[in-house]
């Protein structure tokens, strides 16, 4: 597993998910890691060479320098991966939630990095100015309560499979999350989350502090902005507002899916990505 250095001193883990064809970079949602894209990538390997990475504080990447989880840092991670492999722009990329937002932030910072983007419920709301960072964040509170240790990976899988929202995940995606998201803690088999609950919580708290929406008109490449029909996070009106603000934006509502769409139906998501980026 290669690791690339960022300009601010972080080390970012990169995963070669295989395949043949042009490079497809995949960016994950908050609290997850790059390998949760494995089930989607396996369905795209005949069209793309798929790569993913662990954002700072997630998976096998370092924690954010100074515990600063400003989302511009996640854009820095993506650009460092592109520079460090190296991958020659323009590339195509797909991102889920935080991953979608960071790809748009990266393109805004370095125009021409991407030839086209596919995003699933990128984290932003239709407002010209970023929102103030607030400690009163229910997602952050939930992350801080998250159980971090289990007696085994099987026990972790069984726990998540039995409760929402993880019970909606495709088994292959849930296993990828557990298998690569937990590290052996003790010789007795105890495993611990690699993404510390506090790091996840800080990521949520900073989630509306960026201004990607305000700069969407600067994104010149085609962008598909998708959402789940059953989402409770970024519903169709928000997604359409994001798509309409983009010079070449297209909105897509995916039947039956929630905010966790890429982890729920890898086949449908792979098909959508293939249509948008192929």
Residue 220 lies in a domain: yes
> What is the predicted pLDDT for the residue at 77?
98
Residue 161 lies in a domain: no
What distance separates the 2 farthest-apart alpha carbons in the chain? Answer: 55
Residue 214 lies in a domain: yes
Tokens coding 85: 């492999």
Cα 140 to the chain's mean position, in Å? 17
Of 46, 15, 50, whose CA–CA distance to 32 is shortest?
15
Residue 103 lies in a domain: yes
For residue 243, the domain's CATH number is 3.40.50.1820
Q: Mean pLDDT in runs of 10 for the chain (278 residues)?
A: 94 98 98 98 98 98 96 98 93 98 98 98 90 82 96 97 96 98 92 98 95 97 98 97 98 98 98 96
Tokens coding 124: 């932003």
Backbone angles phi, psi at 156, to 5 degrees: -65, -45
Residue 86 lies in a domain: yes
Containing domain of residue 53, as a range?
3-145+202-277
Number of domains the chain contains: 1
Residue 67 lies in a domain: yes
Query: pTM for this structure?
Result: 0.97
Helix or strand (DSSP H, E) at 17: strand 11-18
Residue 157 lies in a domain: no
DSSP letter, residue 217: G
Of 23, 217, 200, 202, whose CA–CA distance to 104 is shortest?
217
Q: Kind of pairing, strands 114-120 and 23-27?
A: unpaired
| Secondary structure (H, E, C), 165-185 | CHHHCCHHHHHHHHHHHEEEC
Residue 197 lies in a domain: no
């Amino acid at each position: 597993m290669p690791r690339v250095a960022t300009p601010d001193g972080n080390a970012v883990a990169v995963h070669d998910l295989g395949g043949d064809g042009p490079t497809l970079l995949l960016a994950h949602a908050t609290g997850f890691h790059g390998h949760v894209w494995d089930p989607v990538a396996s369905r795209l390997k005949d069209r793309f060479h798929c790569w993913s990475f662990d954002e700072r504080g997630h998976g096998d990447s370092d924690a954010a320098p100074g515990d600063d989880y400003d989302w511009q840092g996640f854009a820095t991670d993506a650009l460092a991966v592109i520079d460090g492999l190296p991958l020659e722009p323009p590339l195509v990329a797909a991102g889920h939630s935080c991953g979608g937002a960071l790809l748009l932030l990266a393109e805004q910072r370095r125009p021409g990095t991407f030839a086209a983007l596919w995003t699933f419920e990128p984290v932003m709301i239709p407002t010209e100015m970023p929102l103030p960072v607030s400690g009163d964040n229910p997602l952050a509170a939930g992350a801080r309560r998250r159980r971090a240790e289990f007696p085994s990976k099987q026990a972790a899988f069984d726990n998540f499979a039995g409760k929402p929202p993880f019970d909606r995940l495709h088994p292959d995606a849930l296993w990828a999350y557990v298998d690569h998201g937990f590290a052996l803690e003790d010789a007795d088999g105890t495993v611990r989350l690699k993404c510390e609950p506090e790091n996840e919580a800080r990521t949520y708290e900073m989630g509306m502090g960026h201004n990607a929406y305000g700069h969407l008109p600067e994104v010149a490449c085609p962008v598909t902005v998708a959402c789940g029909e059953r989402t409770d996070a970024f519903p169709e009106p928000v997604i359409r507002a994001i798509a309409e603000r983009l010079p070449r934006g297209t909105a897509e509502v995916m039947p039956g899916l929630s905010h966790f769409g890429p982890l729920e139906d890898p086949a449908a998501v792979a098909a959508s990505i293939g249509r948008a980026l192929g």
